[in-house]
Amino acid sequence: MLTSPQEARAGALAGLRVVDLSRVLGGPYCTQILSDHGAGVIKVEPPTGDETRTWGPPFVDGTASYFLGVNRNKQDIALDLSRDEGREVVLRLLADADVLVENFKTGTMEKWGLGYEAVLRERFPRLIHCRVSGFGADGPLGGAPGYDAVAQAMGGLMSVNGDPASGPTRIGIPIVDMTTGLNAVIGILLALAERQRSGLGQFVDATLFDTAVGLLHPHAANWFVNGQVPALAGSGHPNVVPYDKFETRSGEVFLGIGNDGQFRKFCNFVGAPELAADPRYASNGERDRNRVTLRASIGILLADRDAVELCEALLKAGVPAGPVNLLPQVLEHPHTRHREMVVEFDNGERGLGIPVKLSRTPGAVRAPAPGLGQHTREVLASLGYTAEHVDSLLDQGIALGR
């Protein structure tokens, strides 16, 4: 059956219902991806709000930009889930839901009578329950709290990032949180695909620790073979040479030369074909063994070049290279705009675009992040609550709305 224009505009996940009990980053990033591609996501916050609403400055009308960046396209209700009436609302939401995403401390959902094995699997057999956690529920670290930087440290990522002067260094973005969010999306989509065959949901377990360990390529693969602990190499690659950062007269550039053909093109472009002919640099293995002398030679060849002009010319010549841009240079770059990787809402707020482009059913950025409890009345009414009952929940502090 062909997809109608209306269905295509709605996104690939149109009709999917998601209840989002998560907060901070991993869970909300997961559900934002789902919502960007058409899923209907209801974010459930405590009456005090997701803590990232306060993670500023900067702020927009009292809400931190951190929160705004990972909560667009969602409806928002505020409930006190420590109270029976608040949990009853969640159960009503789950009656028609396909996916539940949460990142509470292990055991919290079970304490509330919302555990997957004991309650949700039997009551909602088609439900996919995704939990984002630090270390999972069992094992030596089971149930321990986890944050991105802790996972970077314990999972070995810091140990391979930095140089001898800096020592092990935290990666400058919350890469573990965000990749765990991506893993959660993958797990949910896998479970949805399997549900088409079995008709049953399942539990999806995405942890920061597993994600961090899973990102250790190629360092883990190298260690399995040679048993050598990776040394800090700054921006250099442990296996590929030259794959590193170099100075020019107008800034730093990164050369990402991945094979011998690209190396020959580079040498010819910079007027040094003798480097490609040198037996010390004839293959990647030889270049790796002689990386120090090769790096020094390349540094001399690039020292008087203009960074942007050099990289543009190298790309045209088929050699991967790019200037080391600051954030404004990235977000204002013509190709960033061409790829629609910066979007603007009607209220003037801006955000990052959608990195995965689908030809027939593309994602869409429809609405900015909601206010706390912005849709509480609307959602409760859709669940069959009368206006009087909603007012009672608000008056008792079980719900918060506008």
DSSP tag of 120: I
Q: What is the mean pLDDT of residues 378-391?
A: 96
DSSP tag of 355: S
Does the pLDDT at position 112 exceed 50? Answer: yes
Tell me how far apart the alpha carbons of residues 357 and 340 are, in angstroms, rounded to a whole number: 10
What is the predicted pLDDT for the residue at 8? 55
CA distances from 39 to 76, 173, 291, 373, 385 (A): 14, 26, 49, 19, 23
Q: What is the mean pLDDT of residues 346-364?
A: 95
pLDDT range class, residue 6, cuts 50, 70, 90: low
pLDDT digits (tens, 9 = 90+) for 56-76: 999 999 999 999 999 999 999
pLDDT digits (tens, 9 = 90+) for 130-189: 999 999 999 999 999 999 999 999 999 999 999 999 999 999 999 999 999 999 999 999
Average pLDDT, the chain: 95
pLDDT range class, residue 4, cuts 50, 70, 90: very low
Check if 177 is active-site: yes
243-326 homologous superfamily: formyl-coa transferase, domain 3 (3.30.1540.10)
What is the predicted pLDDT for the residue at 2? 38
Under a CB-based contact definition with an 8 Å cutoff, are residues 18 and 40 in contact? yes
Does the pLDDT at position 3 exceed 60? Answer: no
Residue 100, SS3 per DSSP: strand
Backbone angles phi, psi at 322, to 5 degrees: -155, 145
Does the pLDDT at position 371 exceed 50? Answer: yes
Residue 322, SS3 per DSSP: strand
Catalytic residue among 50, 76, 177, 210: 177
pLDDT digits (tens, 9 = 90+) for 259-296: 999 999 999 999 999 999 999 999 999 999 999 999 99
What is the predicted pLDDT for the residue at 398? 96
Tell me how far apart the alpha carbons of residues 132 and 146 are, in angstroms, rounded to a whole number: 10
Q: What is the mean pLDDT of residues 202-212?
A: 98
Q: Which CATH architecture group holds 5-215+345-400?
A: 3-Layer(aba) Sandwich (3.40)
What is the predicted pLDDT for the residue at 10? 85
pLDDT range class, residue 402, cuts 50, 70, 90: confident
Tell me how far apart the alpha carbons of residues 151 and 133 are, in angstroms, rounded to a whole number: 11
Q: Kindly provide the b/e burial profile for residues 359-381, where b requires at least 16 CB atoms within 10 angstroms of the residue's own CB.
A: eebbbbbeebbbbbbbbbbebbe
> What is the domain partition of the chain in residue ranges?
5-215+345-400, 243-326
What is the predicted pLDDT for the residue at 67? 97
pLDDT digits (tens, 9 = 90+) for 297-340: 999 999 999 999 999 999 999 999 999 999 999 999 999 999 99
pTM: 0.93
